Structure 1
């Protein structure tokens, strides 16, 4: 049985926002010199983009996050506690 975060990540990959799609076009295929994953589960969170070699999480906080401020704060705290570098 899969973790719920995995199912959420799969759904989010199919329903990416325009800013996510545009950034993914630039990041995919190691075009920037490192490999990124999109909509990657990390603990209880799903990161928009994740680079494992740099432990870097990139979050696109647009309109969709306007009513999820508490969730975003919890995500930021989790990332800090697990020594992830977060760019939001």
Structure 2
């Protein structure tokens, strides 16, 4: 399921709800086994390049290991729309 979010005021969004790859609020967020969260499109593109590690902690990572973001993250994002 793809969740695209549009925010009324991005300046008021907590920085922890921003993707560290695109530096924008999460769009269809997913989590890595190491606990980091990214936009699904961003981390997919990252892993399709020669990278096979998490962009933040550099632990080994594959597309198969990605999981949907937690309900808490999705609920917070839903409230910000």
Question: Higher relative CO (CA 8 A, sep ≥ 6), structure 1 or 2?
Answer: 2
TM-score by length of 1: 0.26
Higher strand share: 1
Higher helix share: 1
